[in-house]
Amino acid sequence: MKTLKAVMKLSGAVMLALLAGTGPAQAQPNPVLYLTAIEPYTTPGGSFNRYRYDVLNKDQYPAAMFAAAPGLPPCGSNTNSSRTWVDFFNGNTRQRIYGFCALSSPSQLGSIWFAMPEGSIPPSYVYIELIDRQTNTRYRSNLADTVM
Main-chain phi, psi angles of 142, to 5 degrees: -70, 170
Mean pLDDT over 55-61 rounds to 98
Each residue's pLDDT tens digit, 118-136: 999 999 999 999 999 999 9
Domain boundaries, the chain: 28-145
Which sign, positive or negative, has the C-alpha torsion 139, 143, 147, 148? negative
Q: What is the DSSP string of 82-128?
A: BSEEEEEEETTT--EEEEES---SGGGGGGEEEEEETTPPPPSEEEE
Query: Could you give the count of Cα atoms lying within 13 Å of 12 in the half-sphere of its Cβ?
Result: 6
Q: Is the CATH number of domain 28-145 3.40.50?
A: no
Angle at 109 between CA 105 and CA 110, to 5 degrees: 115
Query: Is 68:60 a contact under the CB 8 Å cutoff?
Result: no
Neighbours of 22 (CB within 10 A): 8
Q: Report pLDDT for 27.
A: 75
- The region, left, alpha or beta by phi > 0 then psi within -120 to 50, assigned to residue 134 is alpha
The DSSP secondary structure of 39-83, one letter per residue, reads: EEEEETTEEEEEEEEEETTGGGS-GGGGSB-TTSPPBTTBTT-BS
Q: Specify the DSSP class assigned to residue 2.
A: H
The whole-chain average pLDDT of the chain stands at 87
Q: What is the pLDDT of residues 64-109, one digit of tens each?
A: 999 999 999 999 999 989 999 999 999 999 999 999 999 999 999 9
